[in-house]
Structure 1
């Protein structure tokens, strides 16, 4: 088992996490972190060694990183919030010798490759700058980090229940101000919803209403034009002139063109998670930084 600072590296913990979950139905991430760390039988000075910057226990953090990469690679699934269980792929990987279950092996899995491709698309907006600037560097690093969080967020949403996704999008649009000061927001019943998943009344009387359709799809399940036409039909039955169609995947060009003609707002998976970060839905601020510059006016006579 490879080590760093006297502790096992995160990738060397991959076989232990899979072995631990091999005969369990679903375990919380906190329990996995603790139990796998305990199984190493480390001396107390290493078992409870913390980061120089934070109070987090290093070895438990490394178990957490192993869980994260196993999840992104499809070896683990998340049946509910904070709960992980092994998948069929994970069971196959667990049969490998420990020396074969490496970071490279994990990162060669199709699910991880797809995740990296999506992350790369998010990072296209970052341009390399030959001239180093500390503010730009921090901004770029922050953007990359947040893009990673957004990609993980999207994967979690795609594996959640459809009813959870419907509540999520209604909460998000409310947080964005669509509900107004005295308006209301509701998720429609799962049966006989008439193609409408959520309704937001922007005022107490409901004179301005926004109708929502939410489709929780995998990234490769592209929303096509018929889905937009169907939503328009549902809007017409309500005599509505405004609607928002939200998906965890993407829209085809035909779907985009049709939505534009029908005045339907489209939000795809990347826009969705960016908005969730912007309006702090499903996430919380991890750290706040203050960057200072000289106030030249203060020193003027």
Structure 2
């Protein structure tokens, strides 16, 4: 492994590009320990003997922000995560996994963004992001280095950032405990207002749920009730017609005509057609996390910005 920062690919301002940092992140955590992003950045800079003037250089228009080099690490972390080369143990803490060990062993300091982009995990991530952007109007852009400013609508860019958060959120939900997932979907429907002003929401008893995972009584007397089934599945475990038919049978068993089926994966065409004919609402993984963001279940606001426009009425007066 090269340990001379000056041999790395650099942008016009002399700062190493973010993709040149990719193999070194894996190198400094290859022992398998968990480390914060701050510690990892420090180790990489020490490993490469990056001089102080490079560490301190900032964008001229943003003198109060973090240095250019430290900012570029975030893009490298992001690409490694997309390729499933590192695990995000918790906020700001990372650990190399078996995929990362394989890539580091095979490519060493020749590990590039192009190699990561060819990984099936990376391609799956980008396909899901594309699908989300098509549904919501987001726009995909490449990372910006130096002072390049992409000509892109701010709203579309914000939507893309939120879509990336939603992808990470869905991955966390898929890895959660099944009982917790059932509670999550009930909490979401309550946040959406399904329980009404004086209604009641609960997760059913696991040992005798009869195919019903959650119940929301929309009024104190229970005259209007929503029944829920929640399936925490991996992406490739697609929900078929038989599962929806079984849920329909469970609804018939309690004389119900309102059901919501929620999964972290997706549905077959036949499942969608059957559900539509029986009045069952289907929510897939993408819709689930979009709703979690909209109703702020499991997420919090990171930043808010205000954009102004001219008040024409004021000047006409």
Could you say which TM-score interval applies, normalised by the shorter chain?
0.7 to 0.9
Equivalent in the alignment of 1:154? 170
Unaligned runs of 5+ in 1: 129-134
User: How far 1:55 moved relative to its partner?
Assistant: 4.9
Q: Distance in 2 between matches of 1:83 and 1:199?
A: 37
Q: Secondary structure of the equivalent of 2:260?
A: strand
Q: Secondary structure of the equivalent of 1:118?
A: helix
User: How far 1:138 moved relative to its partner?
Assistant: 2.0
Q: Distance in 2 between matches of 1:8 and 1:136?
A: 25
Farther off after superposition, 210-219 or 250-259: 210-219
Q: 1:264 to 1:79 in 2, by over 3 A?
A: farther
Q: Secondary structure of the equivalent of 1:266?
A: strand
**Residues 240-284 of structure 1: CA distance to partner in whole angstroms, max 9, x if unpaired?**
221111112211111111112221110112211221221122222
Do the aligned residues in 2 keep the contact of 1:16 with 1:36 (CA within 8 Å)?
A: no
Equivalent in the alignment of 1:205? 221
Equivalent in the alignment of 1:182? 198
CA RMSD of aligned residues (A): 3.1
Unaligned runs of 5+ in 2: 1-7, 140-150
Q: Secondary structure of the equivalent of 2:108?
A: coil
Q: Distance in 1 between matches of 2:126 and 2:65?
A: 30
User: How far 1:11 moved relative to its partner?
Assistant: 2.4
Q: 1:297 to 1:124 in 2, by over 3 A?
A: same
Residue correspondences, number: 292
Q: Distance in 1 between matches of 2:218 and 2:56?
A: 52
Equivalent in the alignment of 1:132? none
Q: Distance in 2 between matches of 1:205 and 1:102?
A: 62
Equivalent in the alignment of 1:2? 9
Q: Secondary structure of the equivalent of 2:274?
A: helix
Q: Secondary structure of the equivalent of 1:96?
A: helix
Q: 1:64 to 1:195 in 2, by over 3 A?
A: farther
**Residues 11-38 of structure 1: CA distance to partner in whole angstroms, max 9, x if unpaired?**
233223323443336x3xxx42121122
Which runs of structure 2 are paired with 1:1-301 in the superposition (5 Å)?
A: 1-3=8-10, 8-24=16-32, 27=34, 31-39=35-43, 40-41=45-46, 52=62, 55-56=65-66, 59-78=69-88, 84-125=94-135, 126=137, 137-301=153-317
Q: 1:50 to 1:299 in 2, by over 3 A?
A: same
**Residues 210-264 of structure 1: CA distance to partner in whole angstroms, max 9, x if unpaired?**
2211112222322100000111122222222211111122111111111122211
Q: Distance in 2 between matches of 1:54 and 1:218?
A: 42
Please report the TM-score for the alignment, with normalisation by the length of structure 2.
0.79
Q: Distance in 2 between matches of 1:57 and 1:185?
A: 49
Do the aligned residues in 1 keep the contact of 2:23 with 2:112 (CA within 8 Å)?
A: no
